[in-house]
Amino acid sequence: MKTSPIKKSIIAMFGTFLVTGCVSLQSISLTPIPAKRTNQVSATTSKTVFLGFNFDNDYVDNLTDQLRAKCQDGYVKGILTKDEVTSYLIVFKRTITATGYCLKS
């Protein structure tokens, strides 16, 4: 049994539609950048949500701890945070990235 070229085209377009994603940057923030910028540290956390319903933002809480762990005996300044959303039809992935500079006291 052969499949017609039209059916193959429809199946290919539907398959492409299912795996296509879109990324958008929701927000960005920046604290004052220090003069000494030698030791850069970064932390990332993400969460997958269904139909865009996000009932809590607890996944972001460990971001601060990650930055602290990478800058022991010091403090982080010049923090740049990015909130990105990648969407795949009905599933969305939120990714928060924080990058800063570790300064020793």
Q: Which two tokens stand for residue 75?
A: 């403090």
Residue 3 lies in a domain: no
> Does the pLDDT value for residue 15 go beyond 80?
no
Give the whole-angstrom CA distance, residue 74 versus residue 96.
23
Q: Which two tokens stand for residue 94?
A: 């939120």
Who wins on pLDDT, 81 or 4? 81
Residue 72 lies in a domain: yes
HSE of 42 in the Cβ direction (CA atoms, 13 Å)? 7
Number of domains into which the chain is organized: 1
Who wins on pLDDT, 9 or 97? 97
Residue 2 lies in a domain: no
Residue 95 lies in a domain: yes
Residue 25 lies in a domain: yes
Give the whole-angstrom CA distance, residue 5 versus residue 54.
42
Say if CB 96 and CB 44 are below 8 A apart: yes
- Residue-number span of the structural domain to which 54 is assigned: 21-104
pLDDT value for 88: 78
> Does the pLDDT value for residue 1 go beyond 70?
no
pLDDT digits 0-9 by tens, 59-92: 888 898 999 899 888 889 888 888 888 887 788 8
